[in-house]
């Protein structure tokens, strides 16, 4: 199939015209005319402008314009192929769709929102959950021979600790020690850890005295 440039060049030769002659009549510069005849589309202006040049040159040479322009469009398109769209090949439902920047941005936002919600949920659980509480001593049901009992254990550092409704100071690591007087044959100890939002954990120990 003949190229547009070849058709233009042959038509010019048939009329015994030089590029200089054509330039004088069409006002199209010789270097542009030479590029058109070579089909050097990459070194010419954008398609709409080149289309006008081909039309003017073709009309001057007496060529059928509709046919010439249709031939030019096919040739220009073939020499300037559209970039291939990258398609995703993952394990996701959208696999095989066009992998465009907008899709990347959309899923990036979704991931960020989900990660933020997960972080907030973890912080809420840590902040509002039931406090940890361990009582190392005394053991439940133990019998003592002295009028006092030593109490020790560990809880979360940011909670409030109460033993029989009396507040007990915590160490930095959440450990605690206290001493309670035993005034009856059987004493009930209530150790309560209260979180910031009122959630609490309670451990009860019953102490028997042998004195």
pLDDT of residue 19: 92
| Homologous superfamily (CATH) for 133-209 | Immunoglobulins (2.60.40.10)
CA distance 161 to 54: 91
Please list the ranges in the chain whose pLDDT falls under 70.
1, 80-101, 125-128, 211
- The label of the residue with tokens 């993952």 reads 90
Domain boundaries, the chain: 4-79, 133-209
In words, the CATH class of domain 4-79 is mainly alpha
**pLDDT for residue 101:** 67
Distances (CA, A) of 41 to 5, 32, 68, 180: 10, 10, 15, 97
Q: What is the reported pLDDT for 86?
A: 47
Report pLDDT digits (tens) over 86-108: 454 444 444 445 555 678 888 88
pLDDT in tens, 118-138: 988 877 766 667 889 999 999
Domain 4-79 matches domain 133-209 at the CATH topology level: no
Residue 138, preceding peptide bond in cis (omega within 30° of 0): yes
pTM: 0.41
Cα–Cα distance, 124 to 116 (Å, whole number): 12
Closest CA to 177 of 163, 193, 160, 164: 163
Q: What confidence score (pLDDT) does residue 134 get? A: 95
**Nearest in space to 35 (alpha carbons), one of 5, 65, 62:** 5
pLDDT given for residue 201 in this prediction: 93
The pLDDT, as a whole number, for residue 75 is 85
Provide the pLDDT for residue 128.
62
pLDDT value at residue 145: 87
């Amino acid at each position: 199939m003949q190229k547009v440039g070849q058709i233009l060049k042959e038509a010019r030769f048939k009329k015994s015209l030089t590029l200089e002659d054509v330039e004088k009549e069409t006002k199209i510069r010789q270097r542009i005319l030479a590029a058109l005849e070579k089909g050097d589309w990459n070194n010419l202006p954008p398609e709409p402008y080149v289309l006008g040049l081909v039309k003017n040159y073709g009309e001057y040479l007496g060529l059928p314009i509709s046919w010439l322009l249709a031939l030019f469009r096919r040739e220009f398109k073939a020499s300037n192929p559209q970039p291939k769209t990258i398609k995703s090949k993952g394990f996701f439902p959208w696999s095989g769709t066009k992998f465009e920047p907008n899709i990347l941005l959309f899923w990036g936002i979704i991931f960020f929102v989900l990660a933020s919600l997960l972080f907030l949920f973890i912080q809420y659980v840590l902040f509002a959950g039931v406090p940890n509480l361990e009582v190392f001593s005394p053991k439940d049901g133990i019998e003592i021979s002295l009028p006092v009992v030593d109490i020790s254990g560990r809880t979360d550092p940011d909670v409030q600790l109460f033993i029989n409704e009396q507040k007990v100071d915590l160490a930095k690591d959440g450990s605690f020690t206290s001493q309670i007087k035993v005034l009856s044959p059987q004493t009930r100890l209530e150790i309560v850890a209260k979180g910031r939002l009122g959630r609490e954990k309670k451990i009860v120990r019953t102490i028997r005295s042998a004195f």
